[in-house]
């Protein structure tokens, strides 16, 4: 009888548990990309921006796994581009690749080739100058929460994005966008107006 009970316990509990776990490796999707993959992504970005600019202005802020159905298909690495001429402001640049694939840009357009054309990554127009250009062209900061951000834009390299929101009192609404200006960081040209 004891052998029968042991056989039933094995048949009902132990054997199914062993087969359900056999070969099943749990993927930690919250894990960062391995160091060697981050280094590969760093080399890709440094080749585009130039090693000196990369060393001075780039900070890794996030990395992780890409995949579906428990299969890892690659890695992503995101950076903050913080030009030394503009403290406290950054543009986010993300790349993906790995597992034998080359790293590529995930942003719209291409990362500017500042290695060959350093002026593409220059930030000549200050935040104050960009805001004044927007004001001179109809941006009214009164009653707005003005947000100014540095962005990578495919047609223009880097731009200042200046937008404002009107807060609606008495409601839970965060605000209503009033449109935005894109000001070229190198030339001060208005690349996009709120109505466009």
Determine the average pLDDT of the residues in 65-81: 89
The model's pTM is: 0.72
Which range in 73-77, 89-93, 104-108 is most confidently predicted, on average pLDDT? 73-77
What are the structural domains, with CATH classification, of the chain? 35-119 (no CATH), 123-192 (3.10.450)
Instruction: Considering only residues 126 and 4, tell me which one the structure prediction assigns the higher pLDDT.
Output: 126
In angstroms and rounded to an integer, the radius of gyration of the C-alpha atoms of the chain is 25
Nearest to 53 by CA among 120, 142, 100: 120
For residue 149, what pLDDT is reported?
87
**Given pLDDT bands bounded at 50, 70 and 90, which one contains residue 141?**
low
Helix (H) or strand (E) segment spanning residue 20? helix 15-21
Q: Do β-strands 91-98 and 71-81 pair in parallel, antiparallel, or remain unpaired?
A: antiparallel
Could you tell me the two tokens for 196? 């466009």
């Amino acid at each position: 009888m004891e052998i029968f009970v042991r056989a039933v316990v094995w048949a009902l509990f132990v054997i199914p548990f062993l087969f359900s776990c056999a070969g099943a490796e749990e993927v930690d999707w919250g894990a960062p990309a391995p160091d060697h993959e981050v280094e590969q992504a760093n080399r890709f970005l440094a080749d585009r921006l130039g090693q000196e600019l990369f060393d001075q202005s780039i900070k890794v802020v996030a990395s992780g796994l890409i995949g579906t159905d428990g299969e890892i298909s690659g890695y992503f690495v995101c950076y903050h581009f913080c030009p030394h001429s503009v403290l406290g402001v950054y543009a986010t640049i993300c790349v993906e690749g790995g597992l034998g694939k080359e790293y590529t840009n995930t942003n719209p357009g291409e990362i500017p080739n500042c290695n060959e054309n350093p002026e593409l990554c220059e930030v000549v127009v200050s935040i104050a100058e960009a805001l004044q250009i927007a004001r001179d062209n109809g941006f009214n900061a009164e009653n707005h929460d003005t947000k100014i951000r540095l962005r990578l834009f495919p047609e223009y390299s880097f731009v200042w994005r200046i937008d404002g929101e009107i807060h609606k009192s008495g409601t839970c609404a965060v605000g209503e966008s009033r449109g935005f200006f894109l000001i070229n960081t190198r030339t001060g040209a208005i690349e996009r107006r709120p109505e466009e």
